[in-house]
Amino acid sequence: MTEQTHGPEQDPNVTGDQAEEGALHVEKWEGIWLRFAAAMTAIFILAIIVAAASFGISVPGASGRVDPNTLSDPNSPFANPGLRELAPGKYEVYMVAQTWNFLPDKIEVPAGSEVTFYLTARDVVHGFKLAGTNINMMALPGQLSVLKATFDTPGTYNYICHEYCGYVAGAPIGHQTMYGQLTVVPSVAATDETAQLTTE
């Protein structure tokens, strides 16, 4: 019986160096497209980095831990959830997501305001999506999620829970009612300028 080998047959006239050079052969156009795809991938990644740095885009992150059992503690900023003005045009809002509502469920800020959202959950996993914006966060018990945004356009922005946050006795009850509204009103300075233009 003869011994069988498995693998490509080699030409006995080809030396080892020549065999290594010919081991991987990429056609001309295939090589061009591979280089083009690699260059485009690098350009896209660079564009994302530049856009994120220049426009101040950030993803929501866990900036801290908070005990869900102490949210009602008088020393906790979540004991009285709501909007706080830090300086003219700068606000922070402490929000608590719980089955099946947001606290607060109504927020009002003037146009041009920079708002920092501090969000946590009291009971189960919830979501927070502010329609018409790119604000989308998770509300997790024990975690503090933080995101900053500027609201230049007056209008009403609804926020909803986009995580299915439970049911009672096998029936989905209440999740569809978990929403609130952020209202951006025209700023006083813009209103004063408009009044001056109309009187002239």
Cα–Cα distance measured from residue 45 to residue 65, given in angstroms and rounded to the nearest whole number: 32
CATH code of the domain in which 156 resides: 2.60.40.420
29-59 pLDDT tens trace: 999 999 999 999 999 999 988 888 887 666 6
Low-confidence spans in the chain with pLDDT less than 50: 191-200
Structure tokens at 147: 């995101």
Q: Is residue 87 part of a domain?
A: yes
At 167 the pLDDT is 62
Q: Is residue 31 part of a domain?
A: no
Domain count, the chain: 1
Is 72:95 a contact under the CB 8 Å cutoff?
no
3-19 pLDDT tens trace: 555 555 555 555 555 55
Q: Could you tell me where the DSSP H helices lie in the chain?
A: 16-21, 28-55, 188-199
At 67 the pLDDT is 86
Q: Is residue 95 part of a domain?
A: yes
At 64 the pLDDT is 79
Structure tokens at 77: 């900023």
- Residue 72 structural domain: 61-194
pTM of the model: 0.64
